[in-house]
Structure 1
């Protein structure tokens, strides 16, 4: 567990070494002043200005790179009211197909990472423009089944597409919004083939259920439409045909639209009330064939490390939730730099508060963003600052299979049971025990001393879950493929 103080000290040491001429000029100036040289003040001015600039630069750099949230990040009055179940995703715009292209839904049958090798070496890289640069956009090879109701019907196609990091969850979920170019001319057999397929990534995040979407109808009624892909696809078609309607927020107010366009949306709402659409599953079948998380960069999932000083002073773990993510023009190798809004729930029971912070979000976490927006923070004892713990966050999100190995060699999968994982994280933190891996092996020292307490948590949470739901534990055949580590949080 790296502390903010150590991050500042390490960066300051590196800056002094890299900028050694600055303190050297100060020493030369002092020496020249003692000997009465006329140019001593020049060296003193350069050395003094540089020496003052180094800590300012270091503090700004650590502020941008270290995921620490302080009181200065709290939202005072943003003018935006976020509900607990709201998630607003402002993704980069997609390249548009031809004006004659048809909007359709596509199911991702399988997906693999084809290419992602940026040469930023972990530093921050900033670009201009609205589109994500190819260097920081992973290329994914996908096999799609396109449901083109207005064209030749369903067909399959395979290709490689650049997927913005913020929209990777649409691939994992398996639902995309695509544009199909006009059919190609008939060949010798007389059959026509569908044209090029171009995914619309912000629309795909909408169909995948990653983004929240609500509709206020002409009578002022609020309807939740998140996770209803058929209705959302109709919305996307109307917005494309009408023009000027981006559908990139979390709310669509029909009262603010032109009457003709509002009437079309209202007709869709009337149809949805007459023929209700069930909320779609979190992911389409066959998720294991498009599980990109293992090949994407990010922090390794684990139960987390514990700083002795932090533990002795009464530091605690805190759960929070992302309410908003907005793309920026800055990137790092393992993830984009995003403007985020986070709702933090302090461990002492005080009311939750929202904070706005620019963070580098790992790609493997973004790939499961349709499942969960939760994030784990470790808090200072006085509650004045919070630091994002990506290792614990990724484990809670299910990017890796979480397992407990009992002293009698029994392997107990706890993936898909966030309350069990959360309870174990807190237990280890309270005992000052570190376990950076996703496997908690109670046979090893010093974990074997906490075996009794760990097993009590595992058995107790499992029994409560069975009594509440009657469902089998994670990892049983009823969970399906990958259930031990990839069940929805």
Structure 2
């Protein structure tokens, strides 16, 4: 378990190396001063001027490297709009524009695989000044899509298309969920031409004449192969895809002031998107669209869709569409390895605890790291002492494998300092709780249990942390000697949380 003090000391040494002329000048000036040299003040002043930035550089570098949140420094006391407990606002980069006559449709992701993601920034930060989605830090994904011809399930005119697309890291969860919003260009498939007799070689300008009737007695000539039908171009709309996938929350406030939940209602969302496109683009404030702020004609169209939904309610879509294993690219994306987590003995003895927080907002910046983008985030943290939750605004590097499961959960795990003043985000525990890797418990008798319930995983993490037991892996082996004292307690948590859990296999 890393500590902020250790990272700060390392950052201080690194900043000293970066600004080495400053300390060197101080040393030279001190030696010259001790020898009574008149010019000693020159290296002293220069060294002091170059050494003053060192502590500030060290603090800023440590804060960027270490995901610690403090209430004193990071609490968000005012917000542009109130965040509800289930709110998640995602300001994703804009999608490329499609054909002016393209139609909006739903696409189901049948298969997906990561083609390329290989930036060369190593662990350093890379800053771009002109774009939020540089190709170097945008995964290239190959997908097979089923384009629906109607708003709901596939119509008779649906078709499949396979291609490679650049997917912004903030929108990777739309692939895992399996629902995309796309623009389909109005390109008609090619059709074969009518057969004609060739023009005379002696007169290339002579018009072609219709072919003569074939002799019934003559052998039939082989039919010319039909020209291949070319599917129209498909352009994914990534911010709208996160809305369709349920990653972003969506609410409508009607003309009567009554709110309505739209999250995970893909048919209704598609109709809303079409109205927005016709109106030239309507931006939600946070995750809420207030019809009372729109023009009368557009608001009336939204209100009509609201009445249609009330008359014929739509069933909410599942969190993820069937066939998730065929598009599970989470394991191919970079990020910290999922684990039950490491524990500092001193931290545990002094009363350190784990808490859960929740992302309320994410927005991109111009800075990237290899294992994830640097995002401006807002977190709602629930203190361990039972005091009211508070919202903290913090710039964080968020792993890409966690971003790919944002449609499932926006929760994170943090370990709290014994005095309750600092909350450090633990990405290993967060990834395990989010399901980026399977959590497995091996019983003392060798039987292996796959744990999928987040409540059980959370209980196991807390039991291990409270007893100072580290397990930096997603597999918890209770046959080991160090876990013997708490094995029965941990197995009770597994049995109570997963009654009649099937045994996967016996580990020898």
Normalization by structure 1: what TM-score?
0.92
Q: Whole-Å Cα distance in 2 between the matches of residues 142 and 309 of structure 1?
A: 48
Q: Whole-Å Cα distance in 2 between the matches of residues 190 and 257 of structure 1?
A: 48
Q: Whole-Å Cα distance in 2 between the matches of residues 237 and 328 of structure 1?
A: 29
Please say which of residues 394-403 and 118-127 is displaced more in the overlay.
118-127
| Compared CA separation, residues 351 and 152, structure 1 to 2 (3 A) | same
Matched, 1:339 2:390: no
Alignment of 1:39-438 (within 5 A): 39-71=39-71, 72-149=73-150, 153-184=157-188, 186-188=190-192, 189=226, 193-247=230-284, 249-415=286-452, 417-438=453-474
Cα deviation digits, residues 175-224 of structure 1 (max 9, x gap): 00001112145331488643211100000000000000000111111100
**SS of the residue 2:255 aligns to:** coil
Contact preservation (8 Å) 2:449, 2:501: no
| Compared CA separation, residues 186 and 371, structure 1 to 2 (3 A) | same
Please say which of residues 69-78 and 197-206 is displaced more in the overlay.
69-78
| Compared CA separation, residues 100 and 176, structure 1 to 2 (3 A) | same
Gaps of 5+ in 1: 464-471, 477-489
Q: Whole-Å Cα distance in 2 between the matches of residues 254 and 38 of structure 1?
A: 77
| Compared CA separation, residues 306 and 112, structure 1 to 2 (3 A) | same
Distance apart, 1:52 and its partner CA = 2.1
Q: Whole-Å Cα distance in 2 between the matches of residues 46 and 396 of structure 1?
A: 52
Please say which of residues 454-463 and 399-408 is displaced more in the overlay.
454-463
Q: Whole-Å Cα distance in 2 between the matches of residues 45 and 16 of structure 1?
A: 17
Count of matched residue pairs: 467
RMSD between superposed Cα atoms in Å: 1.8
Q: Whole-Å Cα distance in 2 between the matches of residues 185 and 407 of structure 1?
A: 63
Distance apart, 1:16 and its partner CA = 2.5
Q: Whole-Å Cα distance in 2 between the matches of residues 39 and 45 of structure 1?
A: 11
Contact preservation (8 Å) 2:447, 2:503: no
Distance apart, 1:9 and its partner CA = 0.9
Normalization by structure 2: what TM-score?
0.89
Q: Whole-Å Cα distance in 2 between the matches of residues 457 and 35 of structure 1?
A: 72
Q: Whole-Å Cα distance in 1 between the matches of residues 264 and 398 of structure 2?
A: 24
**SS of the residue 1:271 aligns to:** helix
What's the counterpart of residue 205 of structure 2? none
Gaps of 5+ in 2: 193-225
Distance apart, 1:231 and its partner CA = 0.6
Greater Rg over alpha carbons, structure: 2
Cα deviation digits, residues 92-138 of structure 1 (max 9, x gap): 11111121111111000000000001111111112123541111110
Q: Whole-Å Cα distance in 1 between the matches of residues 103 and 285 of structure 2?
A: 20
Q: Whole-Å Cα distance in 2 between the matches of residues 39 and 172 of structure 1?
A: 68
Distance apart, 1:43 and its partner CA = 1.0
